[in-house]
Amino acid sequence: MPVAIVTDSTASLPPELAAERGIVVVPLQVVIGSRVYDEGADGATPDLVAAALKEWRPVSTSRPGPAALLEVYEQAAVAGATEIVSVHLSGDMSGTFESAQLAARDSSVRVIPVDTRQVGVATGYAALAAADVVAAGGTAEQAASAARERAAASSSLFYVDTLEYLRRGGRIGAAAALLGGALAVKPLLQIDDGRVASLERVRTSARALARLEELAVQRAGEEQVDVCVAHLANPERAGQLTDKLAQRLEANLGGREVWCGELGAVLGAHVGPGMIAVCVAPRA
Q: pLDDT tens per residue, the chain (284 residues)?
A: 799 999 999 999 999 999 999 999 999 999 999 999 999 999 999 999 999 988 989 999 999 999 999 999 999 999 999 999 999 999 999 999 999 999 999 999 999 999 999 999 999 999 999 999 999 999 999 999 999 999 999 999 999 887 777 776 555 554 554 544 455 677 899 999 999 888 988 888 899 999 999 999 999 999 999 999 999 999 999 999 999 999 999 999 999 999 999 999 999 988 889 999 999 999 97
pLDDT, residue 181, reads: 46
Give kind and range of the element (H or E) at residue 189.
Answer: strand 186-192
User: Can you give the residue ranges of every domain in the chain?
Assistant: 3-28+63-152, 155-282
Three-state DSSP state, 97: helix
pLDDT, residue 43, reads: 94
Query: Does residue 157 contact residue 215 with C-beta atoms inside 8 Å?
Result: yes
Q: Same fold for the domain at 3-28+63-152 and the one at 155-282?
A: no
Please give the radius of gyration of the chain, using alpha carbons only, rounded to the nearest integer. Answer: 18
Which class is 155-282 in CATH?
alpha beta
Q: Tell me the C-alpha distance between 18 and 209, whole Å.
A: 30
Integer angstrom CA distances of residue 49 from 59, 173, 189, 244: 8, 22, 21, 28
- Specify the CATH number of the domain 3-28+63-152: 3.40.50.10170
Three-state DSSP state, 146: helix
Helix and strand numbers, DSSP H then E, in the chain: 11, 13
